[in-house]
Chain A
Amino acid sequence: MSKYYLLQDSERCIGCLACEVSCKSNKSLPVGPALCKNMSVGPVEIKSLPRVRFVFMPCFHCEDPWCLDVCPSGAIQKRAGDGIVFIEPNLCIGCKSCITACPWGACQWDPAAAKAVKCDYCKDRLDEGLKPACVTKCLTQCLEFGVADKLPSGRRERFAAQIARDAFNPKG
Chain B
Amino acid sequence: MDGNKAPNVKGVDSPGRRTVYSLCGMCAVRCPIQVEVQDGRVVWIQGNPNDKTMGTSLCAKGAAAIAFENDDERPQYPLIRTGARGGGQWRRASWDEALDYIAEKLQGVIDKFGGKGIAFSDRGGPFADLQKTFVKSLGSPNYFNHDCTCGRNAQHASQSLFGMGRKGLGMDIKNTKHLVLYGRNMIESLQVKEVKDFMDALGKGAKCTYIDVRATLTASKASRFWMIRPNTEYALNLAFIHVVLAENLYDADFVKKWVVGLDELRESVKETTPEWAEKMTGVPAGEIKAAIREIAADRPNVIFHLGWMTARHRQSFYTSRTAHILNALMGNIEQTGGLIIAKGTGDYGLKGLNKLDQRAPKVEDPRVDGVGTKFKHFDKGPGLMHLLFPAILSGEPYPMGAYIAYRHDPLTSLPDPDVMKQALDKLDLIVSIDVNYSETAWYADVILPEATFLERGSIIAEKKGAKPNLQLRDQCISPRFDSRPAWWIFREILRRLGKSEPLEFETLEDIWAYQLEGTDVSLEELRSKGVLGLVSKEERRDRDTGLGFKTASGKVEMISPALDEAGLPSLAPFYDPPANEPGQFNLVFGRVAYHNHAHTMNNPLLNELMSENALWINKATGGELGIGDGDTIEVKSNGYSTKGKVRLTEFIHPEAAFMVHGFGRTVPLQTRTYGKGMADQRLMKGKLTSYDPAGGGNCLTETVISVKKA
What residues of chain A have their CB less than 8 Å away from a CB belonging to chain B?
Answer: 11-12, 14-18, 20-22, 24-26, 30-32, 42-43, 45, 49-52, 136-140, 158, 161-162, 165
CA distance A18 to B190 in the complex (A): 12
Asked if B203 lies at the interface with its beta carbon under 8 angstroms from chain A, I say yes
The residue in chain A whose Cβ has the minimal distance to the Cβ of B207 is: A172
Inter-chain contacts of B671 with A (CB < 8 A): none
Inter-chain contacts of A25 with B (CB < 8 A): 45, 63-67, 605
Inter-chain contacts of A30 with B (CB < 8 A): 604
The residue in chain B whose Cβ has the minimal distance to the Cβ of A23 is: B63
Known: A31-B608, A139-B196. A14 touches B217 (CB 8 A): yes
- Cβ-defined partner of B58 (8 Å) among A11, A12, A22, A42: A22
Inter-chain contacts of B237 with A (CB < 8 A): none
User: Can you name 16 A-B residue pairings with CB atoms under 8 Å?
Assistant: A15-B187, A15-B593, A16-B593, A17-B60, A18-B59, A18-B63, A21-B609, A30-B604, A31-B604, A31-B605, A136-B56, A139-B192, A139-B195, A140-B57, A140-B196, A165-B205
Give the B interface residue count (CB, 8 A): 44
Q: Say yes or no: B609 contacts A20, CB within 8 Å.
A: yes
- The tally of CB-CB contacts under 8 A between chains A and B is 104
Inter-chain contacts of A24 with B (CB < 8 A): 605
CA distance A154 to B44 in the complex (A): 29
CA distance A49 to B224 in the complex (A): 7
Chain A proximity mask over B555-599: 1 for CB below 8 Å, otherwise 0? 000000000000000000000000000000000000001100000
Q: Say yes or no: A16 contacts B187, CB within 8 Å.
A: yes
Which of B67, B196, B607 has the most chain A CB atoms inside 10 A of its CB? B67
Besides A14-B195, A25-B45, A50-B651, 7 more A-B contacts (Cβ < 8 Å) are A14-B187, A17-B60, A21-B63, A30-B604, A52-B217, A139-B195, A139-B199
The residue in chain A whose Cβ has the minimal distance to the Cβ of B55 is: A141
- Cβ-defined partner of A50 (8 Å) among B204, B215, B606: B215
Asked if B225 lies at the interface with its beta carbon under 8 angstroms from chain A, I say yes
Inter-chain contacts of A21 with B (CB < 8 A): 60, 63-64, 594, 605-606, 609
Asked if B220 lies at the interface with its beta carbon under 8 angstroms from chain A, I say yes
Name B's interface SS: mixed
CA distance A162 to B22 in the complex (A): 39
Asked if B494 lies at the interface with its beta carbon under 8 angstroms from chain A, I say no
Inter-chain contacts of A136 with B (CB < 8 A): 46, 56
Known: A16-B190, A137-B47, A139-B192. A22 touches B199 (CB 8 A): no
Asked if B221 lies at the interface with its beta carbon under 8 angstroms from chain A, I say yes
Interface residues of B in 125-171 (CB under 8 A from A): none
Inter-chain contacts of B67 with A (CB < 8 A): 25
**Chain B nearest Cβ from A3, distance in angstroms:** 23
Name A's interface SS: mixed
The residue in chain A whose Cβ has the minimal distance to the Cβ of B44 is: A26
8 nearest A-B residue pairs (beta carbon): A50-B215, A16-B593, A21-B63, A21-B60, A52-B220, A22-B63, A140-B199, A14-B187
CA distance A136 to B593 in the complex (A): 18
Asked if B222 lies at the interface with its beta carbon under 8 angstroms from chain A, I say yes
CA distance A107 to B45 in the complex (A): 26
The residue in chain A whose Cβ has the minimal distance to the Cβ of B70 is: A28
Asked if B615 lies at the interface with its beta carbon under 8 angstroms from chain A, I say no
Inter-chain contacts of B119 with A (CB < 8 A): none
Asked if B236 lies at the interface with its beta carbon under 8 angstroms from chain A, I say no
CA distance A31 to B608 in the complex (A): 6
**Chain B nearest Cβ from A4, distance in angstroms:** 18
Q: Say yes or no: A137 contacts B57, CB within 8 Å.
A: yes
CA distance A32 to B607 in the complex (A): 11
Inter-chain contacts of B608 with A (CB < 8 A): 31-32
**Chain A nearest Cβ from B307, distance in angstroms:** 20
CA distance A39 to B690 in the complex (A): 40
CA distance A51 to B651 in the complex (A): 11
Q: Say yes or no: A18 contacts B217, CB within 8 Å.
A: no
CA distance A14 to B198 in the complex (A): 11
Inter-chain contacts of A18 with B (CB < 8 A): 57-60, 62-63
CA distance A136 to B609 in the complex (A): 20
CA distance A137 to B196 in the complex (A): 12
Asked if B219 lies at the interface with its beta carbon under 8 angstroms from chain A, I say yes
Inter-chain contacts of B222 with A (CB < 8 A): 49
Chain A proximity mask over B514-526: 1 for CB below 8 Å, otherwise 0? 0000000000000
Which of A51, A136, A139 has the most chain B CB atoms inside 10 A of its CB? A139
Inter-chain contacts of A42 with B (CB < 8 A): 220
CA distance A22 to B449 in the complex (A): 27
CA distance A165 to B470 in the complex (A): 39
Q: Say yes or no: A14 contacts B66, CB within 8 Å.
A: no
The residue in chain A whose Cβ has the minimal distance to the Cβ of B54 is: A139
CA distance A51 to B56 in the complex (A): 28
Inter-chain contacts of B609 with A (CB < 8 A): 17, 20-21
Inter-chain contacts of B224 with A (CB < 8 A): 49
CA distance A140 to B67 in the complex (A): 23
Inter-chain contacts of B205 with A (CB < 8 A): 161-162, 165
Inter-chain contacts of B221 with A (CB < 8 A): 14
Which of A20, A43, A138, A165 has the most chain B CB atoms inside 10 A of its CB? A43
